[in-house]
Amino acid sequence: MRLAALQQKNGLILHDADSLSDACASHQLSSPTHPLSTALFEAAYWRTRHLVVGEAPGRGSSLFLQARDGEQWVLRPYQRGGLIAKLSQQRYIWLGVERTRAFREVRLTAALYEQGLPVPRPVACCVTRFGLTYEAALLTVRIPGARALASLLSAGEADEALLKRVGAMIKRFHQAGLDHVDLNARNILVDEAGKPWLIDLDRCRLRPQGKWQASNLQRLERSVVKFAPGQVETLMTPLYAGYADTE
């Protein structure tokens, strides 16, 4: 994966040169008609070309895009939650481009992807600066046919074998040092083959082994309770077993 940076006026783009060049034939991302620009990170660009094929629930309303034949992307704007969102939902304090949430997430995701860990391939991010603040958006490759673990739990479709695979996946990330600060059932996807994936690495980081690993699992357990009340022991037992079995 070759990450490259591009600046256009007050916009700073960090992109995977291989992903974007691959898409040029069908999307003309580098042509005069549709140049690689900050417009690619705006919903209007895709809507006017009738390339929005779906929308994900949750804060920020991520869009599913038909980037080219056989490949879809996810466009996710960065949105604040909690009380701070009442002041500003999209603006963050500018502390330098490499300290923006978008650049950090792309670099972290790319590093994990290069290790063969199950994260979506990052395509690009864009940071638009407004003096002392900035807004940002992220493009990643969509995992075909994937469903959130939360949905499977609610529907009673998360069996023991799947939960063991989820536990083993989490252990792999922990062995790589990933502290996922928002490890919940919505941020674990399961593809058509039953393989689990980890998404949304915003604010996550690599750390030495420590107590944060148990905190990650406790956060996930609270999420499981939310989507499958009364079944936490039945569901978490195989998940912990899969976690423990991974060498």
Catalytic entry in 182, 191, 200, 202: 182
Parallel/antiparallel/unpaired status of strands 196-198 and 188-190:
antiparallel
- CB of 225 within 8 A of CB of 232? yes
Q: Among candidates 88, 89, 101, 95, which has minimal Cα distance to 127? A: 101
- CB of 135 within 8 A of CB of 91? yes
Alpha helix (H) residue ranges in 55-176 = 101-114, 149-154, 160-175
Q: How far is CA 113 from CA 80, 110, 197, 237, in A?
A: 26, 5, 11, 28
Most distant pair of Cα atoms in the chain: their distance: 57
182 carries an active-site annotation: yes
Return the amino acid letter for 164.
K
Half-sphere exposure (Cβ direction) of 104: Cα atoms closer than 13 Å: 14
Instruction: Determine the Cα–Cα distance for residues 93 and 104; give it in Å rounded to an integer.
Output: 15
Report, as residue numbers or ranges, the catalytic residues.
182
